[in-house]
Amino acid sequence: MGAPEDPPLARSIGAFFGHIIDAVRTDPNAPAKAEVRRETTEEHRPDGVTLRRTVIEEVVLPPGTPPPDKTGPGTAGPTDA
């Protein structure tokens, strides 16, 4: 296979302005959200339907607070001694 092609110039310019517009619309003083845990379960039913449930736990952090580490509850992570 050949080498991957670079994206076209129009796409690069669109992505650039998209990032600029996103930065202008974002409130820097808004509380940050940190995803703590994501749990997905699937249930396959006899009629061929697949039921998928996703539970996402987030923590809302006040401005200026560093995000928590990626270790969740029940995992061996760093502790404060």
Among 39, 42, 60, 15, CA closest to 7: 15
Q: What is the mean pLDDT of residues 49-75?
A: 78
Rounded Cα distance between 2 and 71, Å, is 40
Burial class (CB in 10 A: 0-12, 13-18, 19+), 54: exposed
- 2 pLDDT band, cuts 50/70/90, is low
**Percent of the chain having pLDDT more than 90?**
46
Question: Using an 8 Å Cβ cutoff, are 68 and 32 in contact?
Answer: no
